[in-house]
């Protein structure tokens, strides 16, 4: 009896063993979950996303291989448009997208004289609004000016402001058109025929005649019609005390200078992201060196203004910045006046991370890239490694220049916002048979004519965005489509254009070349506004975008 009582039942041992195993598994799972929760860093949607990174650039061993045929900036990737001050997206949509009220349209307009119309009649403007709402579905009409008389008794000129539905920003543009009007059977107004883009000359803004003295003579320049919504003036720091109490991040020029523009943007936004992370004002050099791949001279060209290419007004509203020349003058003025030195922390290596500078109280943190060899002296190296986890590149702060976007709008408007587009990449890639063996033949005129007919209806407006330098290369497409190329719109940047006058004013009165990078910016945005878009890679050619075996 005693021996039987000492021996434990087999069932109890099995239950005890199972419970011990389950408890051990539970403890192990809790431990693993705790470690993951502590160490996990969520991906940065702007920097770490593979899709967005590939859009802008690819980094390999601190050198750049980029496709310069398309340029994306913040307004192309923003998820929602910027909201006008004092409003919300939903409220703005409700106020500007609604169909105009038809209540009074059918009322008698008094059509005793059928040969003329009364341009000041409110019902006439309402008829034009209704017509525009139905005819131009790609744009949102914001506000109208009062119609004025056209060149004939049955014509009226009217101007309005609008934005494109495909543009993520809330920037406004202008159009003015001449309408031929008549009467319906009930004597209400109807639009017989709308004019083309910018045809309503009597409704445009008054021009400014500029008078310039030259060699004792007075020379009258071409009238200037400026975009009064552009404000790219340089911000001023103000008093000595505001300068001394500020905190600044200053980058000296590095190896990025005179590199490709995508390289420049990748580095510039790294610096701007560090300034945001450190809660400092970024000291910005507005002077850009444009790489030879984009210049008309095929040589690197210094002295290009940042404002030629990008929206400086939006940038300074998005991030605290100060122009380098203004900053250096105020720095020198303060030290001369107060006979003392401003606290400066000089950083000579990108290996000093933003995290190490977070608690630095110096007035100026000065990153110096002058002495390091390439690629050690690239700005974007600051954002590599551990810094990538907490420094975000502020892509939404970077928009294309409003002046260039006005050209984009004029091109799209001249096709009445109803066009398709094809992006044809050739250039160096078409000549490199090792990486792109089929690209040249797949984008030949005959191949394009065949492939496009399967994707785009015949006789549509077709905009060709391309880096192909020969204008007549696409002539075979003209047998099937109304073909438009960027060079068809040279008047928009010619020496009598608004763009020409305004960029010359920024450039101290000297004319500015419409260079290759500007062409890429304009081509990209017109491409995005098309109804049907055909891309070279994945649509026209069997080759991969980044070379053989990279699809």
> Got the DSSP string for 70-123?
----HHHH-SSPPPPTT--HHHHHHHHHSPPP-TTTTS----S-TT---TT-HH
CA angle 61, 67, 69 (to 5 degrees): 160
Q: Give the gyration radius of the chain's Cα atoms.
A: 31
How far does Cα 254 stand from its chain's mean position?
A: 25
Contacts by residues 110-114 (CB-CB < 8 Å, ≥ 24 positions apart): 110/187, 111/183, 111/187, 114/182, 114/183
Question: Residue 112: its pLDDT value, please?
Answer: 64
Question: What is the reported pLDDT for 72?
Answer: 80
Identify the pLDDT of residue 214: 53
What is the pLDDT confidence band of residue 75, given thresholds at 50, 70 and 90? confident
What's the confidence (pLDDT) of residue 82?
44
Choose between 506 and 44: higher pLDDT.
Answer: 506
Return the structure tokens found at 256. Answer: 């990025």
Q: What is the pLDDT of residues 475-484, one digit of tens each?
A: 999 999 999 9
211 — pLDDT class (breaks 50, 70, 90): very low
pLDDT in tens, 323-367: 999 999 999 988 888 888 999 999 999 999 999 999 999 999 999
Q: What is the pLDDT of residue 8?
A: 55
The stretch 202-223 carries a mean pLDDT of 59
* pLDDT surpassing 90 at residue 278: yes
pLDDT of residue 228 exceeding 90, the answer is no
Q: Return the percentage of the chain with pLDDT > 90, whole number.
A: 63
pLDDT over threshold 90, residue 161: yes
Determine the pLDDT at residue 89. 39
Using DSSP, state whether 223 is helix, strand or coil: coil
Looking at per-residue pLDDT, the higher value among 31 and 271 belongs to 271
Q: What is the pLDDT of residues 526-550, one digit of tens each?
A: 999 999 999 999 899 999 998 888 8
Q: How would DSSP label each residue in 140-192?
A: EEEEEPPPEE-SSTTEEEEEEEEEETT-SS---EEEEEEEEEEE-TTS-EEEE
Average pLDDT over residues 158-172: 89
pLDDT of amino acid 90: 37
Instruction: Name which of 39-43, 232-236, 319-323 the model is least confident about.
Output: 39-43
pTM of the model: 0.80
Residue 216 pLDDT: 52
* Per-residue pLDDT at 544: 92
Which among 57-61, 103-107, 266-270, 337-341 has the top mean pLDDT? 266-270
- The pLDDT score that the predictor gives to residue 35 is 63
pLDDT at 71 over 70: yes
pLDDT level of residue 39 (50, 70, 90 thresholds): low
- Tell me what the mean pLDDT of segment 27-48 comes to: 57
Residues 441-459: what's their mean pLDDT?
96
Task: Please report which confidence band the pLDDT of residue 53 belongs to, taking 50, 70 and 90 as the band edges.
Answer: very low
Give the pLDDT of residue 86: 43
Distance, CA of 437 to CA of 541 (rounded, Å): 10
State the pLDDT at residue 28: 76
Specify the higher pLDDT residue, 36 or 193. Answer: 193
- C-alpha neighbours within 13 Å on the C-beta side of residue 31: 6
Mean pLDDT (the chain) is 84
Task: Evaluate if residue 114 carries a pLDDT over 90.
Answer: no
What's the mean pLDDT in 421-444? 95
Q: For 135-144, what is the mean pLDDT?
A: 92
Dihedral angle computed from the Cα positions of residues 68, 73, 75 and 76, in that order, rounded to the nearest 10 degrees: 40
Residue position matching structure tokens 């250039």: 427
């Amino acid at each position: 009896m005693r021996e039987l009582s000492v021996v434990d039942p087999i069932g109890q041992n099995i239950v005890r063993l199972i419970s011990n195993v389950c408890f051990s598994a539970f403890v192990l799972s809790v431990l693993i979950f705790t470690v993951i929760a502590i160490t996990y860093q969520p991906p940065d949607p702007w920097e770490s996303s593979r899709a967005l990174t590939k859009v802008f650039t690819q980094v390999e061993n601190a050198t750049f291989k980029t496709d310069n045929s398309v340029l994306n900036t913040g307004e192309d990737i923003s998820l929602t448009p910027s909201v006008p001050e004092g409003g919300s997206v939903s409220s703005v949509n409700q106020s500007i997208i609604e169909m105009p009220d038809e209540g009074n349209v059918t009322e008698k307009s008094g059509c005793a004289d059928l040969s003329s119309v009364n341009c000041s009649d409110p019902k006439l403007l309402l008829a034009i609004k209704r017509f525009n709402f139905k005819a131009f579905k790609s744009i949102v009409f914001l506000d109208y000016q009062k119609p004025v008389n056209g060149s004939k008794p049955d014509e009226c000129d009217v101007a309005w402001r609008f934005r494109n539905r495909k543009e993520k920003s809330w920037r406004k543009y202008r159009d003015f058109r001449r309408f031929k009007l008549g009467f319906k059977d009930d004597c209400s107004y109807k639009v017989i025929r709308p004019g083309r883009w910018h045809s309503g000359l009597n409704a445009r803004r008054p021009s400014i005649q500029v008078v310039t003295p030259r060699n004792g003579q007075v020379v009258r320049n071409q009238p200037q019609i400026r975009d009064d919504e552009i404000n790219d003036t340089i911000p001023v720091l103000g008093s000595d005390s505001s300068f001394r109490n500020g905190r600044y991040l200053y980058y000296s020029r590095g190896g990025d200078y005179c590199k490709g523009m995508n390289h420049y943007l990748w580095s510039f936004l790294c610096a701007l992201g560090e300034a945001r992370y450190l809660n400092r004002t970024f000291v910005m050099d507005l002077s850009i060196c444009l790489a030879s791949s984009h210049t008309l001279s095929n040589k690197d060209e210094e002295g290009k203004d940042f404002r030629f290419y990008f929206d400086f007004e939006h940038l300074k509203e998005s991030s605290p910045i100060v122009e380098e020349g203004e900053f250096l003058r105020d720095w020198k003025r303060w030290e001369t006046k107060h006979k003392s030195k401003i606290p400066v922390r000089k950083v000579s290596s990108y290996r000093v991370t933003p995290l190490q500078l977070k608690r630095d109280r110096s007035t100026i943190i000065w990153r110096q890239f002058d002495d390091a060899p390439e690629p050690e002296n690239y700005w974007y190296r600051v954002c590599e490694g551990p810094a990538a986890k907490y420094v975000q590149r502020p892509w939404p702060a970077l928009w294309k220049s409003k002046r260039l976007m006005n050209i984009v709008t004029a091109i799209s408007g001249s096709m009445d916002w109803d066009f398709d587009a094809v992006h044809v990449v050739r250039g160096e890639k078409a000549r490199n048979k090792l990486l792109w063996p089929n690209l040249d033949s797949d984008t030949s005129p005959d191949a394009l004519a065949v492939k496009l007919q399967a994707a785009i209806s015949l006789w549509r407006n077709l905009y060709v965005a391309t880096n192909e330098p020969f204008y007549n290369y696409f002539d075979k497409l003209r047998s099937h489509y109304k073909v438009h190329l960027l060079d068809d719109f040279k008047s928009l940047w010619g020496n009598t254009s608004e763009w020409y006058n305004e960029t010359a004013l920024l450039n101290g009165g000297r004319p500015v070349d419409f260079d290759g990078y500007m062409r890429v910016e304009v081509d990209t945005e017109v491409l995005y506004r098309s109804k049907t878009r055909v891309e070279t890679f994945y649509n026209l050619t069997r080759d991969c975008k980044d070379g053989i075996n990279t699809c």
